[in-house]
Structure 1
């Protein structure tokens, strides 16, 4: 059974009561960094009731497995992709044998038993589609930026070959791109349309357009099969991996939005974090996307290594120069397992290792030599105010609102900005 604590239970107490009544032999937690502390608290409470075998997996666990396994309530950890690891472990467990399998560490008394590293899954077509039938309330999955509900999320590939120092993804999926076939992805979308009446697909790939040939084949299939379905790239696209041909085919296939992770307006900072982008290329590709009629998004990170008040100004200036339809600004989050985390830890920039504070919308958890935490916070507010509180931008957004859903999304965005400003006071 799959339990989603954000969706299935109003309060933690209800989840604990559910576990108490069912008492499964094995409980697995998928952990992202901001949820680690709360997951440990829940695991401790469960252990006070009875003694199941508790396994932690997910991005945070994969980044620091040796730390996670030390938690008293955690019996085992899964590192990296878990589909085959958990199946293999459960085969042994059902026979009464508790041993670590490849990709896993288990606790035995005061000892930690570790098996070899598990190879990445090469044949992604061999994996079944996600068991969405096990979700208790699939109708409740509606991300804040969804325009058509119900919504489903898919992955067409795993892996990212780039070396951005702030990103956790390569540590989980590896640096080699592994792709599902176009036919396999199309089959899943058809299944979602038919089974769940899904009309909006959020693609969660780290580098969707890495293979131009695959991308064009996929878009040709979408154009002929799914013109009524809205597609959205959750992580945006690598701007250096799109060209006019890809953008034109995205347009023909019915895509109306494209977003790009720009991160910084300073070439020095982009180089330092190994983003692999040039400012001039960014400007050129944005002009191209806008000329083709796309609604454009840009994503920026403030407080990157080497950041100064001057480079923050460069980032804000680039956001205004590019003038996408929408921009999002985030503080850097130094996630465990990234080069940035190791650098900040070594140089003692981190102010806390309370991982509940490592969220995208919480305050910075570090200070830089030339930039205080307060300056980073002020820069984020200034970036939003300067980008959105321009008469031309306000009018453009208002004139583009066509539905109640779009009105709701813009209302949420205004509330988010106001909360940021009021919190800074």
Structure 2
């Protein structure tokens, strides 16, 4: 227990879940305060006041427990406008080699990797996403030169050769991504980079895809979430599936791997919409998408969808049943928690597994050599695409589970 180990320390929580559930977080954990939204300016202000012995309870963007036990949530602080002025992460305080030794990047394994952010926020308001509450709908890009400066520094300092951009929506403007790619090429940086969290398809045509490939882009993902236009409208997902498929063809033609994200079990889903999602998944596999992330719907903290389920009485308490669903929705083998009146928990679990099996059946039947390539890469450190990386992770987890069971036997 951190509080027992450091009884006089100031315990601070930040991030998506703290921002989504500040009152609940303070009630359930021995925290002193929660930082809401972007934390860089808030935490500096907080620590300056602590050092001076000044009160910090009036800082915008914090929530804390009053002396009598009630929780006070202060108004939010404005978004940081000059994000290029934020110092780079102090990775020198971490054992970078140890992180790389574990070899679990978000995307495919292409060498010594480093997480990066080139932009902040997302201009869209999907009902299931925490971004509007965490970041607002303001998308802010960094100066492309500053981003490449940071990449070049890590390349020289740590020997980083692969950069995993964890941006919510990195490619919004074509001019920005063109400038970014041109800057990498102009400096002659011999690196790879990936966008494993998903990005927009509207900004990618064949010209942009060629620039991305020339700059070192190895893989990115699109996140259509559903193959049903009715569901897409209900969840406010501004995606045009024909445009996405055309952008994917352009990227694949340029030599970039493309992945896709789908979700089954939205409250608006029914069997017809699931079949349409399956049809989109099959089309992705047939076109040549290299991986699929198919997850069960999970009502994340304080999203529009979560609030609607609370209003309907579907979510009554933040109990263990709800909290565990936040962890198991991405776990391939775990039973899912269904928030859809048409699907039970086990039925939803089956629908997710069936969709994954459907994708990879088409993917490998379409080009059987892909299966041979996957098997050949299973025991090496590098992965040509995220499917291979996911297969390695699955085998590693299965081996660890089996070893632990044998120890207990």
TM bucket by the smaller chain?
0.7 to 0.9
Alignment-derived partner of residue 326 in structure 2: 358
The Cα of 1:87 is off from its aligned counterpart by: 1.1
Q: Which residue pairs with 1:37 in the alignment?
A: none
Q: For 1:378, which of 341, 350, 368 is the aligned residue?
A: 350
Indicate which of 65, 74, 94 corresponds to 2:22: 65
Q: In structure 1, what is the equivalent of residue 62 of structure 2?
A: 104
Shift of 1:243: 2.4
Q: Which TM-score applies when normalising by structure 2?
A: 0.84
After superposition, give the CA deviation of every residue in 1:162-211 in whole Å (9 maximum; x if it has no partner).
Answer: 01111112222221111211111111001100111101100111111112
Q: 1:134 aligns with which of 81, 89, 93?
A: 93
Kindly tell me: are residues 410 and 182 of structure 1, through their superposed partners in 2, closer, same or farther at Cα, counting changes over 3 Å? closer
Match among 328, 332, 342 for residue 293 of structure 2: 328
Q: 2:43 aligns with which of 86, 93, 106?
A: 86
Residues 82 and 397 from structure 1, CA distance in 2 versus in 1: closer, same or farther, beyond 3 angstroms? same
CA contact (8 A) 1:333 1:364 kept: no
Residue 151 (1) aligns with residue 151 (2): no
**Residue of structure 1 equivalent to 2:383:** 406
Kept in 2: contact 1:203–1:231 (CA 8 A): yes
State the match for 1:299 in structure 2. Answer: 261
- Quote how far apart the aligned CAs of 1:283 are: 2.7
> What is the correspondence of 1:221-260 to structure 2 with a 5 Å cutoff?
221-260=183-222
Could you list the runs of 5+ residues in structure 2 that have no partner in the other structure? 400-409
Distance 2:392 2:271 in 1: 29
CA drift at 1:285: 2.4
1:190/1:250 CA distance change after superposition, 3 Å: same
SS at match of 1:296: strand
| Deviation (angstroms), 1:226 | 5.0
SS at match of 1:235: strand
Instruction: Report the CA distance between 1:394 and its aligned residue.
Output: 6.5
Please state how far the C-alpha of 1:303 moved relative to its aligned partner.
Answer: 0.9
1:261–1:300 contact (8 Å) kept in structure 2: yes
Q: Distance between the aligned counterparts of 2:73 and 2:394, measured in 1?
A: 49
Deviation at 1:253, TM superposition (A): 1.8
Task: From 167, 179, 197, give the equivalent of 2:159.
Answer: 197
Number of aligned residue pairs: give it: 376
In structure 2, the CA distance between the partners of 1:416 and 1:385, relative to structure 1 (3 Å rule), is farther
Q: How does 1:157-168 map to 2 (within 5 A)?
A: 157-168=119-130
1:367 and 2:339 matched: yes
User: 2:52 pairs with 73, 77, 95, which one?
Assistant: 95
1:120 aligns with 2:79: yes
TM-score (norm 1): 0.81
Distance 1:106 1:350 in 2: 25
Are 2:341 and 1:341 equivalent residues in the alignment?
no
Given that 1:349 and 1:366 are in contact with CA atoms closer than 8 Å, whether structure 2 keeps it comes out as no
Q: CA deviation digits over 1:197-249, x for unaligned, max 9?
A: 10110011111111211110001112233552110102121112322322221
Deviates more, 1:228-237 or 1:406-415: 406-415
Q: Distance in 1 between matches of 2:72 and 2:394?
A: 51
Residue 236 (structure 2) aligns with: 274
Residues 269 and 154 (structure 1), Cα distance of their counterparts in 2 relative to 1, 3 Å cut: same
C-alpha distance in 2 between matches for 1:159 and 1:255: 21
Separation in 2, partners of 1:133, 1:413? 27
1:137–1:153 distance in 2 versus 1, CA, 3 Å? closer
Superposition CA RMSD, Å? 2.6
Could you tell me how far apart the structure 1 residues matched to 2:168 and 2:72 are? 32
Measure how far apart 1:140 and its partner are. 1.6
**Cα offset, 1:399, TM superposition:** 4.9
C-alpha separation in 1, matches of 2:16 and 2:297: 17
- Secondary structure of the residue aligned to 2:313 is coil
Structure-2 separation of matches of 1:389 and 1:70? 47
Q: Which moved more, 1:406-415 or 1:125-134?
A: 406-415
Q: Distance in 1 between matches of 2:117 and 2:29?
A: 34
Q: Which residue of 1 aligns with 2:404?
A: none
Structure 1 window deviating more from structure 2 (399-408 vs 70-79): it is: 399-408
Q: Secondary structure at the match of 1:117?
A: coil
